[in-house]
Amino acid sequence: MSRAADAARKRHEELVAEIRAHDYRYYVLDDPAISDREYDALYRELVELEKEYPELATPDSPTRRVGMSPRGALRTVRHVAPMMSLDNTYDETEVRDFARRVVAGLPAGARPRYCVEPKLDGASVEILYREGRLHEASTRGDGEHGEDVTENLRTIRSLPLTIDYRGPLTLRAEVVIFRRDLDRINAERVALGEPPFANPRNAAAGSLRMLDPRIVARRPLRAVVWQVVEGPEIAPSHSAALDRLAELGLPTHRKHVVCDDVDAVLEAVRALDADRKSYPYETDGAVIKVDDFSQQAILGATAKFPRWAIAYKFGAERATTRVVRIEVGVGRTGTLTPVAVLEPVRLAGTVVSRASLHNEQIVGQLDVRVGDRVTIEKAGEIIPQVVAVDVSARPAAAEPFRMPEHCPTCGTRVSRSDGEVAVWCPNPHCPDKVAGAIFHFSRRFAMDIDRLGEALIEQLVKKNLVRDVADLYELRAEQLVELERMGKKSAENVIESIAKSRERTLDRLLTGLGIEHVGPVASRQLAEAVHSLEELLAIPESEITERVSAIAGFGPKMVESVRAFLTDPESRKLLERLSKLGVSRPQPRHTVAASGPLAGMSFCVTGVLSRKREDVHASIRAAGGEVHDKVKSGTTFLVAGEKVGSTKLAAAKKAGTRVIDEATLERLIQGEPLPEATPQA
């Protein structure tokens, strides 16, 4: 190696080490040691050095964080371990109940310690390090599989590309954007005529899934690691693992507190709640974890949640602003809903400019008027709503609100029923009703049509390309290309997503059609009873009530709603079109084995179990038992998991149904004798 090349290599090593150190101080510690201009000078020197000596540009060089070329699509990868949700609560009593369940689930005499930390409000990812290098990163996805976003994660300067640990290490982290950074981004977007991001979470999640890492590199994303999934040998406990990760230069929140008992846990939760507004990122609660990894392994998990952790959600934040005007929207059922248009205000990480007023009665009770100062909060931390009005600050000319007599969308005279609060538009072709029905139809819990967002649906309805959900299946890509912000590839992707939805089972179709009083569970029961859309259409009108009444759990209102839907000429015409278009697959029939250890027994299953509810039902049926969705006269056993509501237990007591746990059910399935009954609480 020449003297010049050797000097370049040494200078390259110095620059890389210095830039990494400054990245760590700025992005992890939030404590920069030099100015942006000084940092840029170091970075430009590194770029020029690598141009002159390309062999120095290793894959983990800071210059490689700018991102590679755009990709056509994000590939799907399987997680090392399922990314489970956390059970959550808003009640300190339930935190104590959680602690009691933990103690009961551990060997006698074991004393668990807990780690309390902030629950970050961002986009969760799985990150793999192999041989000390960042190997792979993926989004949460469905919990089992996620999208490969490795190249996008490589652009995040708070996340080291190499670490001083050579064993396999799989981490869970949150990708976040600091509040101050979001304000700057939004100011730039508004100046360019682009819509601002609603909140840091949406900005982070949207950036993470972009196909062009070069654009991602320009977004101020940060990663905060909060869990070791693979590689727990680096420490015996969760808190020690977080400390070790920080030593390795990985970004952690550094806010965790170890507690010896539940009283200390609640004190730590309250302290996090009091301090959270001082954090640079959004948090919406505290996570409480059993600290010892070996105890976590003993406690295990249900089908949905780990038994060793729970999230305590903080109370709803409130903000004060002014009502600019009151608008009235029309939903998919035609119901008119008043909405307060507000002076924008930040609330729980979101800039809020609209809040629901629910209905005419609520407006009257609040007496909210245009110009009023109002207090708003997020119901369930999702939907902003007005909760109080400052009458003392009311403008003198403010007048009481009155619901319109005609639909604000189509002009049809509204309908009202005696004794009912709701006011609705009776026009079945009202554009807002049609758009709302199509959006509901496309939702994930229904027909799950990806890429069919509200903005696109509004265009389809406005252009009269879609008048009902059946019209979706007759759309052509060339029709979509004519719409705003719709290129050829995007149009083809939408058509492909619509075509895939033909394969959804009948229960998903019935859910998407939005039959009144019939939700996803009832839709599945109805689908199981009739098997296919063709069989549903073949039921004689005179037999509908009898057939539907025979379905367990269907009360008079549900039966009448289904009957009205199936006999309505417009609804029937829609179903017939969907059938001809080949929409929906037949519903699998649940058959009960002719014999088995559970023959002659019937079961209702409730609560949180170690397996999916459907899998437990299948095991019961395979052993000869029947499954009831509700406890009723004749139900032999109520299988109760964790977090069982009092309603089912009361119903079991009234019906004389014995309550058993999941372990007892498994013994019965294996043909073991029934244990002695214990008195019900």
Give catalytic residue positions. Answer: 119
Query: Is 241:232 a contact under the CB 8 Å cutoff?
Result: yes
- Which letter does DSSP use for residue 28 in this model? I
CB 336 within 8 A of CB 425: yes
Q: Which residues of 181-210 are buried (b: 16+ CB within 10 A; e: fewer)?
A: bbeebbeeeeeeeeebbbbbbbbbbebbeb
- Which residues are paired to 286 by β-bridges? 118, 312
State whether residue 159 is helix, strand or coil. coil
Q: What share of the chain is helix, strand, coil (3-state, %, to 5)?
A: 40, 20, 40
Residue 170 three-state SS: strand
Most distant CA pair in the chain: distance in Å? 97
Pairing type for strands 88-89 and 76-78 reads unpaired
User: Which three-class secondary structure string do you get for 63-125?
Assistant: HHHHCCCCCCCCCEEECCCCCCCCCEECCHHHHHHHHHHHHHHCCCCCCCCEEEEEEECCEEE
| Whether 113 contacts 258, CB under 8 Å | yes
- For residue 150, give every residue at least 6 positions away whose Cβ sits within 8 Å of its Cβ, in sequence order, or none: 134, 135, 136, 137, 138
Q: What is the CB-side half-sphere exposure of residue 616 using CA atoms within 13 A? A: 28
Task: Measure the CA–CA gap between 469 and 449, rounded to whole angstroms.
Answer: 12
Secondary structure tally for the chain: helices H, strands E? 24, 22
Query: How many other C-beta atoms lie within 10 A of the C-beta of residue 383?
Result: 12
Residue 656 class from Cβ within 10 Å (0-12 exposed, 13-18 middle, 19+ buried)? exposed
CA angle 143, 304, 251 (to 5 degrees): 55
Q: Given phi > 0 = left and psi -120 to 50 = alpha, else beta, which region is 517?
A: left
- Element (H or E) spanning 214, and its range? helix 213-216
| Cα(623)–Cα(11) distance, integer angstroms | 72
Count CB atoms within 10 A of the CB of residue 20: 18
Centroid of chain to Cα 51: 45
Whether the CB-CB separation of 512 and 519 falls below 8 Å is answered with no
Which residues, in sequence order, are CB contacts of 9 under 8 Å at separation 6+? Answer: 1, 53, 56
